[in-house]
Structures are given as structure tokens and as C-alpha cells.
Chains A and B, each alone.
Chain A
Amino acid sequence: MADLLTIENLDKDYSGVPVLEGVSLTLAPGTILGLIGENGAGKSTLIKCLNGLEHCCGGRILLDGHPVSFRNTAQAVAAGISTVPQEFNLIGELSVCENLFLGREPRTRFGLLDRSRMRAEARRLLAELRADLDPDRRVETLNVAEKQFVEIARALSQNCRLLIMDEPTTVLNNPETELLFDIMRKLRATGVSIIFVSHKLREVKSICDEVAVLRDGRIVGRDATAKLEPDAMARMMVGRELSRKFPPRKAPPENAPVLLALEHVSVAGVLEDISFELHRGEILGVAGLGGSGRSEMAETIYGLRRMTGGRMILDGREVRFRSAPQAVAAGVALLAEDRQGAGVLLDFPLEENITLTSLPRYGRWFIDRKAERGRAEFYRERFSIRAADTRTPVRSLSGGNQQKVAIAKGLDPSPKLFIFDEPTRGVDVGARSEVYHFIRHLADEGVSCLLISSDLEEIIGMCRRALVMRGGRLAGIVEEDAVNEEEIMYLATGVK
């Protein structure tokens, strides 16, 4: 069968700095291609060249054997290439079906919106995806998985033949991911090809037919998935043998005192009756599906939500934070789940991000810029943050380096308790391992860590004890050998 997509010797540079060099790739109809590579390898740029957001500087893109050159995304969509972006392009105030037909609404012969046709068409599309969604629901009331279905349905309604999905599973939990994979298989059966960009190599292994590996702007490998194991993929991505991904698991010392204790803590409508103890120097995992209250618990400990019941004891003293500044003063740090929305100021330079929480330390009246810069320089070296200097705006850093800045920001006030909410989301393999070793190191220094993660491998690799949450409650605490995938999923889904 003729190839749907052919990329020949694609070059792309930004003002002379090469980002893609001689990339060639073919894709047959009805194939799922995994596109993997570290952050900065050129994945996003390649995608942008395909969907019309960027122009390539050299080489050709052929669709059905005909050279194409898109000046904008609309042309790409018209040619049958749709993208499900990481950040969804949906309007929260509008309904599902209004979003589906945004900009190309069917009209009646009087020029008014043909609502009944929109609704019927939306129902048909969603039914095709087996997504049980009411077309009249407002998009802002949907969860991330449902929003993603809307994006996919929109692509399908535009007769898409090549669907590009940019890290679609980072925001999904396991059952949702399975559902997405079912949809992807159905699409493949109808002849749609999919480019699946992901950092999760096991998922790539399970869903993709073929894998292409990008490194430093070149394709360094392309093979059938059946022949590649995830660790082989990882080796190709980084171009070297990976050291062990996780640092050794360690229990805190026998006599380690309790640093944080929650006793029957509740937050009306969000959390109910949460009790647990966290020891000094312990890394306590927090697992659970999306919406199980993990982040809400983190926000409560950090003073962003008010407890409506129960007690919280930090370092032997009962505390009742009414705001984040109080929590910070008491030695709590939070790495927020939503890095760009709550973690770092993209337009601020590195140094000003790092000292944002700890600014009172840098002078009573005037900011001691020299001390600030010195401190930022210290973190840049310690975390090997790849940035030209500490004046560089955080926007220009890669996801992994942005995360390191966010961690440095939390660390600078010298916390006793550090809550990591999804610390490796959108972080590439190399930086991920650095984050793990960093958390381990912090715990060794006596800081207590809460590690919230949707990535079970991460919890299992890092923690000897983990909380499992479900529906705003503590479903159970697993320890030692019970920290395994089956046990956690049983508790998280309520099977047990």
C-alpha cells in the first residue's frame, strides 16, 4: 500500500541553530507510530512542521505522494492532518457540540445556527468514540479525559487521516488510558494513522506498531515495536546506557520521629477523615486515580484550603494554616502539579523564580540582588539547570529544566516537609532520573517528602510506604512488599 505520509530530508533551524537535520520518515495508512525522544530532541518542532505551525527550511513533506506545504493549521486540517495538543484548544464556556463545530457551524437556510443538526452530528461522533458524553454539557465541567475525547472527536469530524497526539496520556489515569488506547485501535482499523508522542515507553510498546526515535534533531532509530523493549528505546533516546532509574529505596531510621500527623482531617466536599503519619526523612507515596483528592490533600497541608475537621500536627505542634505564607513559615513546601499554571512564572528570569517564595531572606527593605543571583547560581549548578545564565526567562527552558527551577523555588526557604505533586510530569527520561535522585537526597538529609504520582512505577520505585486515595478518602496504606501495582490498583479502584 502506498504511504500516507512521507517526510524527506526535513531540515529546520531557528536563526541558524539546527533543530531538525535530515529527518526522513514514512507512515503507512492505518499505522500507529510512536515518536519518542528526550525534551529538546525536536519532537515538537517536527510536529509543528507537519501541522502547519512552522515551515521547514529544507526537505519535503508528501501526503499521498503529493508534496504539501502548509501555511497554517487550517490548511493542514483541510488536508487531513489534525493534532490533539497537550494544552487543549477548547472554550470552557461553550458546550461540547459548540466546541466540536467551532468556526464551521452548520447553518439553516436562514443563516442561523442549525442546533439540531449540530447535536445529532455530535452524538454520532461521540458514539463512534464510545464516549458517553452529553453534547450539551459545558466543556469546563468535563474532566481532562473527556476534554481529550472532544478534541479527538473534533479531529474525526474534519475527516482526519493523520492524527498527531502530543503526550495524550500524561493527564490520564490507567483506566482512562486504556479507553484512549481502545479508541486509537478503532481509528487504526478505519485506516487513520496516528503519530503518538509520549515519554511513557511502556505505553508506546503496548499501543504502537512502530517506533521512531529522535535524538538531537535526527532520527536515530526506527523499528517495529515488537522488536524493541522499553529499555532499548530509552537507550536509543539518550544514546547511552541508562544508570538505574531509581535510587535505592530506603526506610527512614528506626527511631525517626513523626514530623507530620493528620488526624481525621476533613475539608468539606473534598476530603474526608484522612489520618496518617509521616516520619522525618521518609518518602511517603500518595497514589490514587485523578480526582481522588491527592492534590487537594496537598493543598490543604500547604494552607491553600481550610480544614473543616480534624487536626494536623507538624513537628509536635498542632497547626491550622489559614494561608500558604503560614505553611511556608512553618516549613512546608509544595511543588504544584500544574507547573506552568501554578509553579513558575514563565516571563520571569530564573533567579527571580527561585527566590519568589523565600524573598524575605534577601533583605528587609531592598532586595539584595547579588545574594539572590549567587543563590540562583548555586541551584543552577547543583541541579545542572541548562540555561545560559540566571537572567534567562524560564519560558525558554525545557520542561525538565523548568521543573528543576520550580523545585529550587520550593527548596530555597529550607522546608522540613516537601510535597511533590506529579514531579516528573512532562519531564524527559534523563531529567526524571535526576529528580528521583534529588528527592532521595533530600530525604537522606532529613526532609520528609510526600510523593504524589499517577505513575505507579514511580511510587513503587521510590517509596516503601504509600497512601492510596479514593473519592476524597484514604482507601488504605500499603507498606513494603504490598507496594505493588496490583495492591495499589485494587485500593484505588475500590475492588478490594
Chain B
Amino acid sequence: MTKSLSFQKNHWNRFLREGGPWLALAVLLVVCCLSSESFRQPQNLLNIMRQVSYSGIIALGMTLIIIGGGIDLAVGSLLALSGVLGIMVMNQVADPLVGLMLGAGVALAVGIGGGALNGLLVAAGRIPPFIATLGTLSIFRSLALYAADAGLVSSGNDHFRRLGAAAWLGVPVPVWVLLATAVIFSILLNRTRFGRHLCAVGSNERVAHYAAIRTGRIRFLTYVLAGAAVGISALLLGGRLNSISSTNAGLSYELDAIAAVIIGGTAMAGGRGSVWGTLAGILILGIVSNVLDMWGVSVNLQGAVKGAVIIGAVLIQRKR
């Protein structure tokens, strides 16, 4: 009897959930472009996109983890560890091209390995994800500090520096990587068995278990994918700065990533979510902080605005 009603409501909810963040982004973009001459410069817009791509790539991985009912607090410190070790290996090799390949391989392997460790603790060790990754957050950061003697590891590799500054069709490489990652993760989530199973696990793990889904394997894989995204992000960030600081690199990236996922409309309780929503979320956060700079708002106050945006997004989403 209430069928048609709930049917309409579903469509409306679906629209709000998937279109809402992009609608908000569009409004924000229009307001900012109208209010600030320097904001609407193409170079500034490209800069924003580049700036958000490092934590953005991580946020995409975080989206998968959160859909599966998990969370990963260790992404920032894993980025530092992966970048530090990658550059250190890179510097050991005389030939720049071989060095780049080896270093990149190590950074990626460390990211994937760290993610796999998180995944094992959560899936096989049955430790709540918040606690498991709180532990590895501390471990990864500490290892990075030890390896770099609490300092900065700079690269002497020219290829690496060039990669970090490179652009294609006028768009910086990290932005392309961000978009490519979004496409891949979105296909994974919406078109493959893995994605369907992931939503099932996040929606109700017991039902998934009874439906003969290997729930542990699915959750493990999300942490591995997020780890790979961290490794890629570490490489891009290292190339851009030509160094990785063991103390500062990736600091509070986990919070930015989680914030973007929330703004993007993914349910914190798991079960459903959108990779594209997260992309909108990360752009919203980037634009807000950029335009606050333009308006001359103190950097120290920007955190408060960011916090208000996150809380506001959740309030709007809860209305329905």
C-alpha cells in the first residue's frame, strides 16, 4: 500500500545521496567565482585540484573501507613511512631511472604491506578497526621517524622531481591519477562482485556470512586497496616536494579523508556509499580552504570552518 510512496522516496534519497554533494560543490563554486577575482583564475582552480589530490586519492580508498563498515586511522602515518622508505631506496641507486622504478616499487609495496597488516588485524585478528589502525598509526609513524632520524628525507633523483611537477594537457599528473583512481574504484564498487559483496558486508555482516560471502577476505581487500592508494599518494607528494618529512608528511590526512567521505554522503555505518561523492567532498574541502585564504581568513581559523562544513553536511544528510 505504501509501495509507490517508498518508491518515490527511494529515488529522492538516491538523488540527494548521489547528487547532493555535487550540487553543493556547484553552488560553492559559483559563489566563490563571483566573490573573488583571483579565485576564478584557471591556474588557481588547477592548484586547488592538485592540492586536494594527495589526500583525495587516500579518501577514495577510505570510501571503500567505510562502506565495508571499517575505518583506517593509519593512512597519514603510512604515507610518511612509505614515502620515507621509497625515497631512501631511490637515493641508494645511481641510475636515476632504475632508482625511480625501485623507489616507486618500494613505496607502493610499503603502502600495500601496511594496508595488508591493517586488514589482517581487522579481518583475521578481529580487532575493531578503530583500535587496530590507531595502533598501526603509532607504529608506522614511529618507524618513519626512526628511519629518517626524525628528519626530512630529500631525493636527489631528477626523474622523480620531474614526475612530481609534470602535467598532461595542462592538468597536473596527480589530478589525472586522482581521476583514474576514482574511475577504477567506482567501477570496482558498482560493477563487480567485489563491490556488491563489500556493500553486503557493510550492510549486515551476518547476512553476508550466511550468504556464503567470504566476509574476512572482502574486508582485508579494502585495506589493501586503501594501502595501495596511500603508496601512490606518497609517491606523488614526495615528487612534488622532492622530499618527505617523517614528522609532518600525511599529518591529519586521515581526518581529511574521513571528512571527504562523510561530506560525499557515504554512510559511516557502512553498506552504501559513493566514490564520486567522496571526490566532490574532497573538492569542497579544498575550495573552502582556498577561498578562505583568498579572503584573508587566518589559517588558524580555517579548521573551525572545515569542522562546521563537516557537521553541516551530516545534518543535511540526516534530514531525509
Contact = CB atoms under 8 A, between A and B. Distances in A.
A396 B1 CA distance: 10
Most buried by B among A334, A366, A387: A366
B271 A347 contact: yes
B319 interface: no
Contacts, number: 88
B200 A356 contact: yes
Interface string B206-218: 1111111110000
Contacts of B3: 387-388, 392, 396
A345 B213 CA distance: 13
B196 A343 contact: no
Interface string B24-65: 000000000000000000000000000000000000000000
Interface residues of A, number: 38
Interface string A315-344: 000000001110110000010100001111
B6 A342 contact: no
Interface string B71-101: 0000000000000000000000000000000
Nearest to A325: B212
Interface in B168-215: 187, 191-193, 196-197, 199-200, 203-204, 206-214
Interface residues of B, number: 29
B207 A341 contact: yes
Contacts of A40: 1
A347 B199 CA distance: 10
A366 B204 CA distance: 23
Q: Which of B187, B206, B212 has the most CB of A within 10 A?
A: B212
A110 interface: no
B298 interface: no
A367 B192 CA distance: 5
Contacts of B192: 365-367
Contact of A388 (B7, B191, B213): B7
Given A14-B2, A392-B7, A348 B200 contact: yes
Contacts of B315: none
Nearest to B3: A388
Nearest to A323: B214
The 8 closest A-B pairs by CB, nearest first: A324-B212, A328-B212, A356-B211, A342-B210, A325-B212, A396-B6, A366-B191, A357-B211
Given A341-B207, A359-B196, 16 more contacts: A19-B2, A324-B209, A342-B207, A342-B209, A345-B200, A345-B203, A345-B207, A356-B211, A359-B197, A365-B192, A366-B191, A367-B192, A367-B193, A387-B3, A396-B2, A396-B6
15 contacts: A17-B5, A324-B209, A325-B213, A334-B210, A341-B207, A342-B209, A345-B204, A346-B204, A347-B271, A359-B196, A366-B191, A367-B193, A392-B7, A392-B10, A396-B2
